[in-house]
Structure 1
Amino acid sequence: MKRRINKVAVVGSGIMGSGIACHFANIGVEVLLLDIVPRELNDNEKKQDKSLEDKSVRNRIVNDALQNSLKSNPSPIYHPDFASRITTGNLEDDIAKVKDVDWIIEVVVERLDIKQQVFENLEKHRTPGTIISSNTSGIPIKFMTKDRSEDFKKHFCGTHFFNPPRYLKLLEIIPGPDTSEEVLEFLNDYGEKFLGKTTVIAKDTPAFIGNRVGIFSIMSLFHMVKDMDMTIEEVDKLTGPVIGRPKSATFRTVDVVGLDTLVHVANGLYENVPDDERHELFKLPNFIETMMDNKWYGSKTGQGFYKKIKHKDGSSEIKSLDLNTLEYREKQRAKFSTLDKTKSIDEVAKRFPVLVDGDDKAGEFYRKNFAALFAYVQHRIPELTDSIYKIDDAMKAGFGWQHGPFEIWDAIGLEKGIELMKDEGFELSDWISELADSQTKSFYSVKNGATYFYDIDQNKHTKIPGQDAFIILDNIRESQEVWSNKDLVATDLGDGILNIEFRSKMNSIGGDVLNGINTAMDIAEKEFDGVVVSNTGQNFSVGANIGMIFMFAVEQEYEELNGAIKYFQDTMMRMRYSSIPTVAAPHQMALGGGCELSMHADKVVAHAETYIGLVEFGVGVIPGGGGSKEMTRRAAMTYQKDDVELNRLRENFLTIGMAKVAKSAHEAYDLNILEQGKDIVVVSRDRQLAVAKQHAKLMADNGYSQPVKTNDIKVLGRQALGAFLVGTDQMKAGRYISEHDQKIANKLAYVMSGGDLSEANYVSEQYLLDLEREAFLSLCGERKTLERLQHMIKNGKPLRN
């Protein structure tokens, strides 16, 4: 039987329940969100003379929870309209509705007796064959189905989403003793393909995989920081982006998540894993117990490892907790010579050997930290899982690590990792000893574009399952490279499709990237059928290389700057008018030039988590790589007879003028950055490149014709220009914008109006590009624009002047 998920019921509307409901709504699934009926009226209901029988009262808990979730930042939902896919109800009046759903997800309080009671009630109404799962983070799955039917047990398992469900990729699937293989296979595939998750089937052990290893890692640091007499700033410096971890690193992450949450899981592990060889490590250090007594939980209580202090003059500062005195002090700068040695190493994996070889406190820290981590994960096989890649996947998807423990170990080297462990007094597991004695001597290898892992049971490398739907650039780049320079690689994806991959810092678009795009397009038009622009960077592209723009501008080398901007524009137009189809595949940040490139491709296959926009106002200029022209063209394409055309143009003008950035790919349709009916959104980041390739091939195979250049873009002239100038005057008079903001907006108004034309007219793209470039160059001659450019280069954030 082919199983489909058209409707789900989420039972429990707390932070996790509402978040899960929103994410199913994100992917187009109808959701029934249920919670308990209030036991008494609140003050507001009493004032309105409502009764406990009133439907609004009976649904108050679930409605309030969902609304609070929808108001949270970051948002749990891709687009506000998607919330209409969620219907709320309560567990007394509406529980019978679960008979119509395809999947029931329980997300109630973490108490076994309450969960068992909920399951008993649900089974009275559940249709046989319906999947049912618990989002527990630690209660054994085997205890939950006591007294349930055979059909219930067969279709029951744990599905542990990580919070927030929209943003964290990990979905642990935990089978019960009677769960059918069909259910496990379906959920494993559904989670990855439809929910965009990294799905990991885990064993029914305390805290499963992600939290077991993740909490160990944090608790290990808690003990190590005292033993090594380190500050929290030093630990956060060493455990952040330098090793491919989030900027929040360790202590700031705990503040955000909540120390109480972490301690709850750690205490649970201390109680439930008595045979763990590092059992005592889950016991709280004294300073953590004191913080718990003081309720210093982090952001939720206003102080934790860090505390924000507000001064009387309105300024504020962040202070840090001294772990010796447990008093807050001014933040201290952390600096290590070992880290200086890694500044020129862009690939995180190549930093690890340098870090563990350091001769300062940082080097000692990394040797101790990695030794403890390697020793711990080696013993979790086969306790947590039989496959090492599942531990790595869980840590990457659940905790934001760029590399999992075994991948780090591979980067350092198997024998070096063993040496570190022995130096710290850790014993080797039998399977590590066997691996060290074999010819393999690595946890992973790549063959024919696929990743293989060391299979302990077979004592050899085995292909990781599920890769056939992916294209993994890291695995094929070296063998399939067609052309490259220092900032760009062109890779043969097979089937006549060439991939263009940025490799510059933050994937910014400078001279070498532009040269690379043009060279790759030359090759593609001669030897390939289509092109995809995609990369594996943290962000698709943060935009043009503003350092280069600033250098030309400050030196007043306007001819060179004019040439550079025209080259950018010409390259975008090369994408638009290529003889073969072009597909852009943006993800995460696609700003400025990254947005402009996407808008000039034949098609965009955007990852759902794409934050895309034309943000040039923040550095004192207008979009100069075709963005201003393109937003003018797109407005003109929508003009209908008897339209108020100016209103449509104004929307696009404001999109640029307010530097709007879509908070998801779906919001980009509202901004006219993505186009309905042409561009598409995919939820699975792992599948994005394969989907983009399919669309490039589909266009090529179905008679793609080179587009004809557009010469009939309707511009509104003085009608629009006058209205825009009046608007900017009013904004300036109301002190909503600065004088320089007004100057930039007026330049944009001139471009998007088509110049100071006496009446509406039809113009070419090149006409608008010339106006755009002229405006861009004139703004680069303004002192306040130079100040904005310099501030962005130095501080990474815009200056308002």
Structure 2
Amino acid sequence: MSAPRIKKVCVIGAGTMGAGIAAQVANAGVPVLLLDIVRDPADRNAVAAGAVAKMLKTDPAPFMSKAAAKLVEVGNIEDDLAKVADCDWIVEAIIERLDLKQDLYAKLEAVRRPGTAISSNTSTIPLAKLTEGRSEAFRRDFLITHFFNPPRYMRLLEVVAGPESDPALVAAVSDFADRGLGKAVVRAKDTPGFIANRVGTFWIQAALNAAFDLELTVEEADAIAGRPMGVPKTGIFGLIDLVGIDLMPHLKQSLTSTLPADDPYQAIARTAPLIEKMIADGYTGRKGKGGFYRINREAGKRKEAIDLATGAYRPAATPPSLPGAAGKGDLGALIALPGKFGAYAWAILGPTLSYAASLVPQAADDIVAIDEAMKLGYNWKYGPFELIDRIGATKLVERLAAEGQPVPEILKLAGQRSFYRIEQGRRQYLGLDGDYHDVVRPEGVLLLEDIKAASKPLLKNGSAALWDIGDGVVALEFTGKMNALDGDVMKLIGEAIPLVQKSYKALVVYNEGSNFSAGANLGLALFALNIAAWGEIEKLVSGGQQAYKALKYAPFPVVSAPAGMALGGGCEILLHSDAVQAHAESYIGLVECGVGLVPGWGGCGEMLDRWKKNPALPKGPMPAVAKVFEIISTATVAKSAAEAKELGFLRPADGVTMNRDRLLADAKAKALALVDGYAPPAPPEFRLPGAGGRTALDLAVQGFQARGLATEYDGVVSGLLAEVLTGGDADPVDVLSEQDMLALERKAFMTLVREPRTQARVEHMLETGKPLRN
């Protein structure tokens, strides 16, 4: 029987996970049936309907747009179970009780269509137990798909197939999860906790134990077990607060009850009396009254931390700075620190890395699966075997052996060798056979990191680089901190255009940073402001305008491929591209007003041109001006690519890629599709409302000020933005060119940049990462 093409999904269980999975299916544009039990006979669908209503109010939002919620059909198990016959994949996400799951499966077997994929989102119950008593056909169609919470934002999906699972069906579900839901699929074995939770729970338990035993403060522990180890800046205690302290006993109970008695986790699993008391008193972390950290609102929103010895809260201390290389990610230096800091680092890394190494091939076939699971499921910067490479397998083995700790076979196998290497431009990993093997990417995945390992840049400077990505396409990469944009970026754009015109077909703007670009380099701008280098600032503004227009009118297609934040100048480069292929999780906006400025690299004109063509708006100059003014003056940021289309930052025809790893390949394909018959766009012309339109916008701002929603200086900034958008001194009958719009932007920008209140906003943003409401 051929595997299903997944056109409709049913999710059973409308709790946090089930509802989130349903939302992500809807985000993929696929209809989904969400079912739960009947709690209220008068409103039989209340549980599922309530879950959808709650998600529409949740922040961060499970839905990428409110329109996606319309793809969710709600129902209940008693009345609507027969509807699963219309679905190609049924996801069970009910409570973790084997008897309830097996009872549901018996009912599903009677109504489902043969060949329909059935999966459980369980994280604790073995697949073999779940399918006991079911038919051969059911077992063939069954697998485990373990999502991570929240399903929209966490990329990891652990897939577990049973010995009887149909490989074609498992492949079909995995492919849909990959391309449609944006998941990085990691194949795990049918073992307790699978991969990520098994390693992650051990890691957290080891860190908790050591913090109590070594009498560290929570700030000290998080400073050591956070960024220096390449794990989230929350560290251990901040992470537990985030996920919920009350989750810890459940994870412990689950693993201790299912793991063999000789598993190393059994020896370290213990519950601290302090944690039991915190849970009993409602201190369950951020979702409760507080956790290891809390905000004391009675003391002026003071941040406090708990004393691990006494359980009393005290003002949070400044985290300690680690000396030298230890604070910069040198793990060898970190574990060699004298005193309790080095002891704590080793108490976490030694046992955790040894434990992870012992799970190959028990929990996963190779080291790549272990590393990917921890990077994607727990947001580690490096996987366990990548961390071992940073310490050195030999040093790790020597210290483990000296302390009488277990040394897994794969560590002995590595010997003096690293677990990963680059060989002839290919990344390879050490296998259990003692040989190196290529890290194989899924079909359709193209990563710049692989290209960079196998080649040298065509052009490069301190802030950008240009790479040949094959088939006549080059990629422009930003390389500065937060991929900020400066004169070097503009210079490289100027050098790239003639090179591409001469020898290539198209250009893609892309990078693999966490964020596409946070915008202009504010640190550089603040330095120039402090020395009143007005000429240099105007030169940067003018240079950015010229570079972006050169890209817009280049004689070849330019496709931008953002992921993460694309703010300010990062947004403006998207607006000047022939097309955009955006990752679904792209957060796009013109945020300059938040730092007391206006868009200066052509963003105002480009947004006006888009909105005046929008068929949803009435004709005439004012509707488009009012809409763009609203978006830019409030520094609105789209919280997804879908929202970016609604706001005009993306065009309706721009592409959206759900899986981050497929973004570059999709953008390259889009660029190549534009090559034949390509011609640059015609320059736009503008008829703007002039002084009358400006008066209307000023009145709107005054209304916001009267309600306390805008400061006096917001009015100053908005007034200059209104001057740009309404055409300055032009009359409504005048036709303004693109160059006229750029001149208006420059004038407004240079006026604002001289304002001390703008300078204060820029400085505050750099210091705190938050806007100043002055």
TM-score, length of structure 2 as denominator length:
0.96
List per-residue Cα deviations over 1:374-409 (Å, max 9, x = no partner).
211111112111211111111111111111101111
Q: Does 1:556 align with 2:532?
A: yes
Gap change, CA 1:194 and 1:641, over 3 Å in 2: closer
- Using the TM superposition, name which of 479-488 and 250-259 deviates more: 479-488
Confirm or deny: 8 A CA contact 1:112 1:144 kept in the other structure: yes
Report the AA paired with residue 660 of structure 2. R
Q: CA deviation at 1:652?
A: 1.1
Q: For residues 637 and 177 of structure 1, what CA distance do their matches in structure 2 show?
A: 57
Q: For residues 191 and 509 of structure 2, what CA distance do their matches in structure 1 show?
A: 42
Confirm or deny: 8 A CA contact 1:444 1:454 kept in the other structure: yes
Q: Residue 683 of structure 1: which of 658, 667, 674 is its match?
A: 658
Q: Residue 151 of structure 2: which of 138, 141, 165 is its match?
A: 165
Q: Does 1:378 align with 2:367?
A: no
Q: Does 1:193 align with 2:194?
A: no
Q: CA deviation at 1:491?
A: 1.2
Q: For residues 698 and 276 of structure 2, what CA distance do their matches in structure 1 show?
A: 62
Aligned pairs for 1:489-504 (under 5 A) are: 489-504=465-480
Q: For residues 158 and 646 of structure 2, what CA distance do their matches in structure 1 show?
A: 34
Match of 2:266 in 1: 279
Match of 2:723 in 1: 750
Look up the SS of the partner of 2:514 in the other structure: coil
Q: Residue 741 of structure 2: which of 757, 768, 771 is its match?
A: 768
**Once the two structures are aligned, what percentage of the paired residues are identical?**
37
Q: Residue 85 of structure 2: which of 80, 85, 99 is its match?
A: 99
Confirm or deny: 8 A CA contact 1:210 1:394 kept in the other structure: yes
Match of 2:419 in 1: 443
Q: For residues 456 and 577 of structure 2, what CA distance do their matches in structure 1 show?
A: 23
Q: Does 1:29 align with 2:30?
A: yes
Match of 1:11 in 2: 12
Look up the SS of the partner of 2:469 in the other structure: strand
Look up the SS of the partner of 1:773 in the other structure: helix
Match of 1:45 in 2: none
Q: Residue 452 of structure 2: which of 467, 470, 477 is its match?
A: 477
Q: CA deviation at 1:424?
A: 3.9
Match of 2:752 in 1: 779
Match of 1:529 in 2: 505
Q: For residues 693 and 449 of structure 1, what CA distance do their matches in structure 2 show?
A: 21
Q: Does 1:615 align with 2:599?
A: no
Q: For residues 409 and 706 of structure 2, what CA distance do their matches in structure 1 show?
A: 76
Match of 1:368 in 2: 347
Q: CA deviation at 1:13?
A: 0.6
Q: For residues 700 and 282 of structure 2, what CA distance do their matches in structure 1 show?
A: 51
Q: For residues 193 and 665 of structure 1, what CA distance do their matches in structure 2 show?
A: 16
Q: CA deviation at 1:256?
A: 1.8
Gap change, CA 1:125 and 1:449, over 3 Å in 2: farther
Q: CA deviation at 1:295?
A: 3.8
Look up the SS of the partner of 2:639 in the other structure: coil
Q: For residues 103 and 461 of structure 1, what CA distance do their matches in structure 2 show?
A: 37
Q: Residue 395 of structure 2: which of 416, 424, 427 is its match?
A: 416
Q: For residues 221 and 612 of structure 2, what CA distance do their matches in structure 1 show?
A: 54
Q: Residue 710 of structure 2: which of 730, 737, 759 is its match?
A: 737
Confirm or deny: 8 A CA contact 2:621 2:687 kept in the other structure: no
List per-residue Cα deviations over 1:70-111 (Å, max 9, x = no partner).
221110011001101010111111111111110111111110
Q: CA deviation at 1:435?
A: 2.4
- Using the TM superposition, name which of 317-326 and 353-362 deviates more: 353-362
Number of residue pairs matched by the alignment: 771
Q: Does 1:625 align with 2:611?
A: no
Q: For residues 520 and 410 of structure 1, what CA distance do their matches in structure 2 show?
A: 37
Gap change, CA 1:228 and 1:656, over 3 Å in 2: same
Structure 1's unaligned 5+ residue stretches are 42-51
Q: For residues 492 and 778 of structure 1, what CA distance do their matches in structure 2 show?
A: 41
List per-residue Cα deviations over 1:703-746 (Å, max 9, x = no partner).
22233433x22322233222212222333334321111111111
Confirm or deny: 8 A CA contact 1:15 1:69 kept in the other structure: no
Confirm or deny: 8 A CA contact 1:491 1:500 kept in the other structure: yes
Match of 1:296 in 2: 283
List per-residue Cα deviations over 1:426-475 (Å, max 9, x = no partner).
232223212217xxx1212334654322221x321122344442222222
Aligned pairs for 1:264-275 (under 5 A) are: 264-273=250-259, 274-275=261-262
Q: For residues 516 and 243 of structure 1, what CA distance do their matches in structure 2 show?
A: 34
Q: Does 1:406 align with 2:393?
A: no
Confirm or deny: 8 A CA contact 1:188 1:200 kept in the other structure: no
Match of 1:334 in 2: 319
Q: CA deviation at 1:361?
A: 4.5
Q: Residue 672 of structure 2: which of 697, 700, 703 is its match?
A: 697
Match of 2:302 in 1: 317
Q: For residues 214 and 549 of structure 2, what CA distance do their matches in structure 1 show?
A: 57
Report the AA paired with residue 475 of structure 1. D
Q: CA deviation at 1:512?
A: 2.1
Q: For residues 127 and 418 of structure 2, what CA distance do their matches in structure 1 show?
A: 34
Q: CA deviation at 1:360?
A: 6.0
Q: CA deviation at 1:788?
A: 0.6
Q: Does 1:249 align with 2:235?
A: yes
Q: For residues 650 and 318 of structure 2, what CA distance do their matches in structure 1 show?
A: 43
Confirm or deny: 8 A CA contact 1:368 1:424 kept in the other structure: no
Look up the SS of the partner of 1:94 in the other structure: helix
Q: Does 1:142 align with 2:115?
A: no
Match of 1:460 in 2: 435
Q: For residues 22 and 178 of structure 2, what CA distance do their matches in structure 1 show?
A: 17
Q: Does 1:395 align with 2:374?
A: yes
Q: For residues 722 and 553 of structure 1, what CA distance do their matches in structure 2 show?
A: 31
Q: For residues 596 and 260 of structure 1, what CA distance do their matches in structure 2 show?
A: 45
Confirm or deny: 8 A CA contact 2:4 2:117 kept in the other structure: no
Look up the SS of the partner of 1:160 in the other structure: strand
List per-residue Cα deviations over 1:644-672 (Å, max 9, x = no partner).
54123211111000000001011001111
List per-residue Cα deviations over 1:196-219 (Å, max 9, x = no partner).
111111111111111000000000
Match of 2:44 in 1: 58
Gap change, CA 1:449 and 1:608, over 3 Å in 2: farther
Q: CA deviation at 1:342?
A: 6.5
Q: CA deviation at 1:353?
A: 4.4
Confirm or deny: 8 A CA contact 1:142 1:177 kept in the other structure: no
Q: For residues 171 and 563 of structure 2, what CA distance do their matches in structure 1 show?
A: 28
Q: CA deviation at 1:275?
A: 2.3
Q: For residues 772 and 685 of structure 1, what CA distance do their matches in structure 2 show?
A: 34
Q: CA deviation at 1:798?
A: 0.7
Gap change, CA 1:481 and 1:421, over 3 Å in 2: farther
Match of 1:602 in 2: 578
Match of 2:567 in 1: 591
Q: For residues 420 and 629 of structure 1, what CA distance do their matches in structure 2 show?
A: 63
Look up the SS of the partner of 1:137 in the other structure: coil
Match of 1:508 in 2: 484
Match of 1:307 in 2: 294
Aligned pairs for 1:175-194 (under 5 A) are: 175-194=161-180
List per-residue Cα deviations over 1:102-160 (Å, max 9, x = no partner).
01111111100000111111111011110001111101111111221111110001111
Q: For residues 558 and 434 of structure 1, what CA distance do their matches in structure 2 show?
A: 62
List per-residue Cα deviations over 1:518-545 (Å, max 9, x = no partner).
2233322222211111111111111101
Gap change, CA 1:224 and 1:521, over 3 Å in 2: farther
Q: For residues 760 and 20 of structure 1, what CA distance do their matches in structure 2 show?
A: 53
Confirm or deny: 8 A CA contact 2:131 2:139 kept in the other structure: yes
